[in-house]
Chain A
């Protein structure tokens, strides 16, 4: 019984939140890694692209809600998601046409593109704040829990409760669907293959007749879809606040780099590595150990490696360690 209680407590406070957070990071990191692989620069505007996509979803959700539309037990935001993706795609293509294409034609160095993406970031940042304001916005509706603590306790009779939020379930399901679609697209379709070819060797790809502008366009479209999905899932699960997406940039980049920049598989693995490290290192293990240890060995302190204040420091440290010892990341991406 104690063992079961320990497992449940661990799942409730560590495993389930970390899986949901890891899925959100993985989707974000996939976008970053695609841009790095194909367009060859680190896109700092990615966090704010997520914010922009999520903002569109929030606005469309409100519109749907005002018309009395809902998605039953699921959040209305899922209905709004496709429209938000279209809107973000339009923004991405416009940005590429107005800003990035100019630098691409000049064959600008990656470092210049990085700085350019920072400029884009600040503009998107301002745009989102201008449209929806800097405050928290609520847009989640539908059933809140798949299993709530009370139901779980009544069902199992255990001392510890377990909650699975609907948004956590949706996050994982949607993330899996996105990843499957992405891999199918990259490995099975003509366009996907040409994108991979372009990523592996630009000159050879051009010689074999691949149209670079098309590849770039498809990349932006996919990135817009991934960023919007990640942004909406994060906003649904936690809350929508423009500044938060800017802060997410660090763990997202850490995920992409830990997995290996340019490697989609690595981005997913990296997302989960970062999420689990952040949560487990700052978790106070007292509750779990109390169930597992014999009575006389029970810990009196909290058994917390790092205070939760240092959550973001964890991704920093992992980032530095990986860059020092394995610059290509876990999955042999490009070195930074």
Chain B
């Protein structure tokens, strides 16, 4: 304990003394808990960006960036807040890449980050509740993942373009399903459509005929299934097809997967859907950069790289690693105008900024921050054609 105290004191001294600093960035993700299988490659993605910047030696006159990991647990708000508190007060991080799940992200932001004035960029929190439209976050919170509310809007656009004005909605009974269904209903009704019913279904049941009975009674041109393809979502679709309640469906991200083709094939011909995805060159470049060191296509891993990169580029643009200074620059480096920056080009970006130029960080996920600093998100619109999921377009 004594040694550790001395070590931290020593690093604090060094950090304070040098002008080319040793900047610490926190990576707070659920290394234990429900998404523990995703977080290792997410952290690797963020650390890859930090290493790239450190190796370039171009950040703030040769500063290096050191990652410090902490466990958010994904579900335990108290443990996550304590971990974040440690990162800020004892490790002295200048920014936090995280957290991952929406619940703990909100807890850390409100309990720790706001009080200490530290910037957070989350790669994966998608709850609409985290959109701070009235500056409740003091401009400290950003995310490289789109809010679920955004998917509701995209979904509305897709259906409206198909000429569908009346739908029934069923959602899996959890935060994801309910948030998405409510966001969609609000967007769809604002666009002049009608949602005949917005009903929950429980996952893990064998029989969904009662649920489908209610949905069929309410009616609609298409059934929106905001569920999971390997859970109740497929059960609902199966029961709806069997009873002839609906012929075509609309699927948000949780329903789109190989299982969907396998389960239904051409029985759902003409159904539509969308899920986060991009045809931007960034994703391929990111994969090339990772070169098999970890799984570059694992969910939210490219977003993690982008979150860390944005933080460091904003520091460069502000000329300071102080969160109060660089928080205002995050949006600037993320959006146009300026030269487009792809993964692996962080050194070039630092140089442009140092030379007084402007950059437009595209990164691995075609980052475009909107609203209060969240990703606009890129979606792949799909249609079931000949029993296979085919890309209609990207939007």
Contacts and interface: CB of A to CB of B under 8 A. Distances in A.
Interface string B7-28: 0000000000000000000000
A12 B202 CA distance: 22
24 contacts: A12-B244, A13-B243, A14-B213, A149-B244, A161-B244, A234-B206, A235-B206, A238-B206, A238-B207, A241-B204, A241-B206, A278-B210, A282-B210, A282-B214, A283-B213, A283-B214, A284-B217, A287-B217, A304-B217, A308-B210, A308-B211, A308-B213, A308-B214, A309-B200
A150 interface: yes
A12 B217 contact: no
Contacts of A238: 206-207
B197 interface: yes
Given A304-B217, A309-B173, 18 more contacts: A12-B243, A13-B213, A13-B243, A17-B210, A21-B207, A21-B209, A149-B243, A153-B244, A161-B243, A161-B244, A234-B206, A240-B206, A241-B204, A279-B213, A283-B214, A284-B213, A308-B201, A308-B210
Query: Which of B205, B207, B235 has the most C-beta atoms of chain A within 10 angstroms of its own C-beta?
Result: B207
Contact of B218 (A150, A241, A284): A284
A239 B214 contact: no
A241 B203 CA distance: 12
A259 to B, nearest CB: 21
Nearest to A148: B244
B219 interface: yes
A144 B244 CA distance: 14
Interface in B207-241: 207, 209-214, 216-219, 230, 235
Contacts, number: 85
Q: Is the interface of A mostly helix, strand, loop or mixed?
A: helix
Interface of B: 173, 197, 199-202, 204-207, 209-214, 216-219, 230, 235, 242-245
A251 to B, nearest CB: 11
Contacts of B245: 13
Contacts of A279: 209-210, 213
Interface residues of A, number: 39
A296 interface: no
Interface string A218-244: 000000000000000011001111011
Given A149-B243, A283-B217, A302 B210 contact: no
A285 interface: yes
A12 B209 CA distance: 10
**Lowest 7 CB-CB distances: which A-B pairs, in order?**
A149-B244, A238-B206, A284-B217, A13-B213, A161-B244, A287-B217, A284-B214
A287 B243 contact: no
A248 to B, nearest CB: 9
A163 B213 contact: no
B235 A239 contact: yes
A13 B244 CA distance: 10
